[in-house]
Amino acid sequence: MATNIKDKIAKLLALAESPNENEAKAALLKARELMAEHKLRPEEIKKAENVKVVRELLDVTCTAMTNPWACALSAVIAEHYCCRAYRNRGSGRKLNQIGLVGLEDDFEIAKRIFLYAYDCVISTCKREIKKDPTDPPGTYREKCNAYGWGFVHGVNAAFREQQEEHQEWGLVMVVPKAVDDSMADMGKKSSFGKERTGGWRDAYRALGYQAGRDFDPNSRLSGGQHRKVLGVGV
């Protein structure tokens, strides 16, 4: 019986490498449910090289003034997919590079979803938020930041609703101790930067929030959800 269970879990973990994020997460969740039920550790199912902790800096950077929301977005998505996020800044530099840490299967899913979510925000800002030459310097950047912060809050709210609807996830969708242990010698915490609110920023923040609530990892930028026109007056 134990061998059959291990085989079943191994097949589910293989499905967790699917390019379809929903299918991958469903398979990983089911695998973890079975591991919890039968008190099995990942290393008892897969070869040791497949359960190692992966940590990697991504090709995403930000500063306290430009796209600071990206750090918060990485933290929200990483935790939801059993990983951690961090940021790395070279000595004397303002630019921060975002990284993720997680077990191999978790890491690949979190990485794909974070990069897609980040791209959704950046592409929407470039496509829909217009630069007005009459605006004070930095206004366009602040509009994009407001939208980005709203998106982060929207994604976080959607994730929390999912967790409340599926409370059993809390038993299995947790960050492994090995991942947290590996963070001891790593960079700074992922969240930083001050979110600015009030006035016209709140309108862009509200649009970002709704987009975050509607965010679907299976969507692609050619889809409709991020093509809402940002017709906001300032």
Which pLDDT value is given to residue 223? 40
Catalogue the long-range contacts made by 195-203 (C-beta closer than 8 Å, 24 or more residues apart): 195/68, 195/69, 195/145, 195/149, 196/142, 196/145, 196/146, 197/146, 200/143, 200/232, 200/233, 200/234, 201/142, 201/143, 201/146, 202/146, 203/232, 203/233, 203/234
The mean pLDDT value for 141-146 works out to 93
Q: Residues with Cβ < 8 Å from 7, sequence gap 6 or more?
A: none
Which range is least confidently modeled, 76-80, 97-101, 113-117, 195-199? Answer: 195-199
CA-CA-CA-CA dihedral for 97, 101, 105, 110, to nearest 10: -50
Could you tell me how many residues make up the chain? 234
Distance, first Cα to last Cα, the chain? 65
Q: Which residue has the tokens 């050619």?
A: 222
pLDDT digits (tens, 9 = 90+) for 202-232: 889 999 999 999 998 765 433 444 433 343 4
Please give the model's pTM, rounded to 2 decimal places.
Answer: 0.75
161 pLDDT tier (thresholds 50, 70, 90): confident
pLDDT digits (tens, 9 = 90+) for 54-78: 999 999 999 988 999 999 999 999 9
Q: Which candidate, 9, 214, 120, places its Cα nearest to that of 112? A: 120
Q: Give the separation between CA 162 and CA 123, rounded to whole angstroms.
A: 26
CA 137 to chain centre: 30
Burial category of 89 from C-beta neighbours within 10 Å (exposed 0-12, middle 13-18, buried 19 and up): middle
